[in-house]
Amino acid sequence: MGYHPIGTGHLLHMINEVDRMYDLRDASPISNKLRNSIRSMAPPQENPPLTELLTALGDNISSSDLEPRLASLAEKNVLDDITLAAIRSLHTKLEEAGRREGLLRVLYDIATDLTGIRDVEAVLKAIVRRTRALIGSDISYLSLNDYEKGETYIRVTDGATTEMFRSIRIPLGEGVLGAVATGRAPSQSPDYLNDSTKTHVPASDEAVAAEGVRAIMGVPLWAAGKVIGALLVADRHAHHFSSDDIALMETLGAHAAVALENARHFSAMADAVTKLNLAQTENVAHVQVLEELSSLDQRLMETLAAGDVLPNLLRLLSESMDSPVFILSPGGEPMEGLPHHNDLSSIAAAQAAGMSVERKAPVQFTVEGRQYTAMASLAAEQHLASLFVACHRDEERLVGLERSALVLSAALIFERTLQDTQYRLQVELIDELLRPRPEITAALIRRAAGFGLVEGGQLSVRVIGVKEEHRQRALAILRQYVENRPGIVALYESQLCVIESPAKPGLGRGPTRSGTHGGDRSDSMGQAVMETLQRQHIQATVGSSQIVAGLAGLPGAYVQARQVLRALLALSRQGEAADPARLGTAGMLLGAMDSPFTEQLLAAQLGPLLTYDATRGTALVHTASLFLDNDSALKPTAEGLHVHVNTLRQRLDRIDAILGQKWRRGTSALDIHVALKLWQLKGAGLKAGIHPPGPRNEHSS
């Protein structure tokens, strides 16, 4: 049974309704709604075949399935040609609507992806990869403009195989790429190398030929009212790109430009935030360092104002540096009373200290893999000391070390100034105390009391003999020796002199060489003074006076101490400490130097021998003295005289002839020996009241 041909009015109404509901330029409705509307507009029972076709259109029938059905209906004369054309038109519109909707969905996905990427490099790669996939081209690429050089250059590609193509740079306005990059309009060339309508650049053409590119099409990239580059596609076969491809490229280009600009801004903001965070971190660290330095400065000033500067400074620096710290003299020796480390006696430590003096900055060095830092303490180019830290430190910590070195310089200068002032006061005071004076004034008593020398108290004078080249160093050591005890030290008449108050029994100053303690007999002889110098490798001979009461007895005590020193030197007892009592017989002879008995004894015992030596220029008196000192032993006496034993025998025979053989034995030997010692003392210029130019011994001061 056939059907009556249906009029086209109702079908055309449906086509118009589709156009109304779905404007292809807008493409905002969804295709499913369109197809549902078509189903609802189909006439229910007027023409079942037409209803089936419209339902099939609503179900998204493909062209391959639709055409056989339309041909069958046409043969049966069920639908006329106008209706068939309307159905075909409606199907075409639905297909194009679906394709456009799919494209818009893809563009939306692309836009979402691109705006979600924050890395500029990733955005560029995503743009060219998506563009190539959507257009279906062999190659896609993106260029950026360099307005300073007037060029555009390919920044990223997808599908390109040659480095020449990936590195193309072309002047703005030249070729397809240069023309598009100027932003005038989209541009294409179906066969670029053979296209005479386009300008050509040899280097660019060579790269295009190497890549095998023929057809090229591109659109400009606009951002913030400025062309920043171009987006292009290329194929390795000649053809024209459709208007739909161009429209799609323009849409992609708009999205790409926005995404690229957003990524740039995001990267710039991220870089700015990173730099800001880094700057903030650095500022916080810098502020923390400044606070630490401020705290260190305050503590350094407190240390400088307090006593015991060097130990407190070491303790403070060890806490600040979190490592052991040492202070060494310019000679590389530890400062008095401070710790030392064997590594700091090395050549590397000495060189580092020297370099720090030259650079006026910290110098880091290693000793057998152990790390150290040296910082010189300077004042007016003078090297005062060196700070050593048992580690390597960063620049901020080294600033604290430099400031500590300045405080150390101030402390050492202050200490030196104080010592110099104290020494000048001691020089003036010792000059007044040791010179005979008619009276002891109240002012002198007050000044002496300031150094612990109390009027009416027990006092003694010590005169110290050292080699001349050791005198100044010995003076510096003795100044430290009396620093924390009652006493003064200075040079007086070119002699090293110490005036001190001997310690009371039970209040000793530490063990002496004999193993006893201060306050005993050894201390009264100046043993502590001698041992103090010996610890610094200075051999000293110390002559001490008997203890006197009060300041008035000091001039006489000085004369007595000087006589004891010269007696020790005359008796070849260098490196000893003694007072008159310790000298024994020599001490008794010192007390008899001014009596007539002295001359009578010398004349009675040695007169003929002294006369013989005087008239003949011999040294028989000296020979006799050395012979008795050696217990009448020939060999050591000959060695002491630097003569042969036979020569010594001849000299002894001559002495026997002058004095008689009894001089060698018994009480006669004792009398002669005492007379010879008296002769030695008299020859050394020890007679009371005599001020000789000084002893001839090498240990005299």
What is the pLDDT at residue 204? 92
Average pLDDT on 422-426 reads 80
pLDDT of 429 higher than 60: yes
What is the pLDDT at residue 141? 94
- Quickly state the pLDDT bin for 594 (edges 50, 70, 90): low
Residue 490: strand, helix, or coil: strand
pLDDT of 693 higher than 50: no
Higher pLDDT, 689 or 656: 656
For 640-662, how does the pLDDT look when each residue is reduced to its tens digit (9 = 90+)?
889 998 998 898 888 888 888 88
Average pLDDT on 668-694 reads 62
Hey, what are 460's tokens? 């003694």
Residue pointed to by tokens 């050509």: 200
For 14-46, how does the pLDDT look when each residue is reduced to its tens digit (9 = 90+)?
556 555 554 444 444 445 555 565 555 555 555
Average pLDDT on 44-61 reads 72
What is the pLDDT at residue 515? 37
Higher pLDDT, 439 or 255: 439
Q: In terms of Cα–Cα distance, which of 559, 564, 539 is closest to 477?
A: 539
pLDDT of 68 higher than 80: yes
Residue pointed to by tokens 């606009």: 222
Higher pLDDT, 404 or 203: 203
Give the sheet arrangement for strand 226-235, strand by strand: 169-171, 151-158, 139-146, 226-235, 215-223, 187-189
Average pLDDT on 394-421 reads 73
What is the pLDDT at residue 14? 56
- Quickly state the pLDDT bin for 510 (edges 50, 70, 90): very low
Q: How far apart are CA 645 and CA 359, in angstroms?
A: 66
Average pLDDT on 581-589 reads 68
What is the pLDDT at residue 312? 76
Hey, what are 60's tokens? 């998204």
Average pLDDT on 112-138 reads 77
Higher pLDDT, 482 or 94: 482
Of all residues in the chain, the percent with pLDDT exceeding 70 is 77
User: Which has the minimum average pLDDT: 249-258, 324-333, 408-417?
Assistant: 408-417
- Quickly state the pLDDT bin for 590 (edges 50, 70, 90): low
Where in 117-205 does DSSP place strands (E)? 139-146, 151-158, 169-171, 187-189
Inter-axis angle of helices 620-629 and 634-641, to 10 degrees? 140
Reduced DSSP (H G I as helix, E B as strand, rest coil) percent helix, strand, coil of the chain, to 5: 55, 15, 30
pLDDT of 1 higher than 70: no
pLDDT of 697 higher than 70: no
DSSP letter, residue 494: T
Higher pLDDT, 472 or 57: 472
Q: How far apart are CA 218 and CA 185, in angstroms?
A: 9
User: Which has the minimum average pLDDT: 455-469, 566-580, 641-655?
Assistant: 566-580
pLDDT of 689 higher than 50: no
Round the average pLDDT of the chain to a whole number and report it. 78
pLDDT of 157 higher than 50: yes
Residue pointed to by tokens 């401020």: 294
pLDDT of 73 higher than 90: no
Average pLDDT on 65-86 reads 81
What is the pLDDT at residue 35? 57
Average pLDDT on 71-79 reads 79
What is the pLDDT at residue 4? 39
What is the pLDDT at residue 461? 94
What is the pLDDT at residue 393? 67
As beta bridge partners, residue 328 has 334, 386
Backbone φ and ψ for 518, nearest 5 degrees, come out as -55, 150
Q: How far apart are CA 552 and CA 436, in angstroms?
A: 8
What is the pLDDT at residue 699? 36
pLDDT of 687 higher than 70: no
Where in 558-656 does DSSP place strands (E)? 577-578
For 323-370, how does the pLDDT look when each residue is reduced to its tens digit (9 = 90+)?
888 888 888 887 766 777 888 888 898 999 899 888 888 898 988 888
What is the pLDDT at residue 292? 63
Asked whether the beta carbons of 14 and 90 are under 8 A apart, the reply is yes
User: Which has the minimum average pLDDT: 17-21, 57-61, 271-275, 430-434?
Assistant: 17-21
Query: 403: how many CB neighbours lie within 10 A of its CB?
Result: 16
Higher pLDDT, 560 or 32: 560
Q: How far apart are the first and last CA of the chain?
A: 155
For 527-559, how does the pLDDT look when each residue is reduced to its tens digit (9 = 90+)?
889 998 998 889 999 999 989 998 999 999 998
- Quickly state the pLDDT bin for 563 (edges 50, 70, 90): confident
Hey, what are 271's tokens? 């870089």
What is the pLDDT at residue 290? 62
User: Which has the minimum average pLDDT: 57-71, 226-240, 408-422, 501-515?
Assistant: 501-515
- Quickly state the pLDDT bin for 74 (edges 50, 70, 90): confident
What is the pLDDT at residue 166? 93
What is the pLDDT at residue 109? 66
DSSP letter, residue 192: G
Hey, what are 35's tokens? 């197809």
Average pLDDT on 129-151 reads 90
Output the pTM of the full model: 0.43
